[in-house]
Structure 1
Amino acid sequence: MSKIKSIDTPLSEITLRRYEKPYNLKRRDLVRKLTLGMGLLNPGDSRDVIVDILCILLDARKNKIKLSSETIRGKVIEFRKEHKLDYNGTASSNIRRQLKRLRELFLVEKVKNDYIITEFDTCLSTFEDKIERYLIPSIIERLKNYMKEVDREFGENE
């Protein structure tokens, strides 16, 4: 008889953190705080190439430029060289993995084989439309389903 294994892979997830108000931060530090606040980067992480990827895509948004993952990789290496940062995380496979994470939070979308900031729109608009109105309510609703089921299973007042 074979056992059925429970898969604990979430259908969707989001981590939100609150930091001090953005004040007098350099561009990279501002994007770093954004990625920390959205759970794309963890406090103390030294592998922060996702920050550079997002910076590059935000710069490309101004001129509505689509970038391939290899172009992004080249620009990330340039960017890290300019800022005197190490090259940890600049392998093509990692760049694609980080782009996937940005796509999962709807900040970036793939158009054919190129990447753009979602609809070349603002980060705030994308956050409000995709995360605040769609992702968070669906996660909350599912958690409520689990809470109701737990209460039913264990008895409401025990």
Structure 2
Amino acid sequence: MAYATLDELKGRIDWDLDADELRIAAGALEDASDMAATYGRDWPEETAPRLVRTLVLKSAARYMRNPSGYVQSRAGDETLQWSDIGRDAGTVYFTREEIRLLEELAGRKRGIVSAPVMAWGTKPRGPDAGGYVPVDYGGDTFPLFSDGVSPW
């Protein structure tokens, strides 16, 4: 399963791929698609959002331009270094921003959430049902126990 085709990837690369590069490119597309499904969700290929295809193509093209993961190139007295690749050099990867986009497309939101928790077999009751104590800051009462008959 791949969210993009080899022909689409060829359109993003500025050289003609030989047989070995075609094989590597097909693997890169599959890897990027698997990662997109992991960070986002497992969209059916025909209904995946266009942005998923775009991100898969960007990741695979990035890998094809530097499959060995070089972070420095030297020619004569000139040196060029890429410091933003880091530990992902030589792999198919998504940037933090691309991962965030995939998560948003899947409906996932980062952040802290709260969930109400109560003892097994209890039912939520209003403050006048007993078992609630006042709080110092003047807000809502706090449930201290689940038995409305006995205060302890």
TM-score range, shorter chain: under 0.3
The two structures have a TM-score, normalised by structure 2, of: 0.27
The two structures have a TM-score, normalised by structure 1, of: 0.26
Pick the structure with more helix per residue. Answer: 1
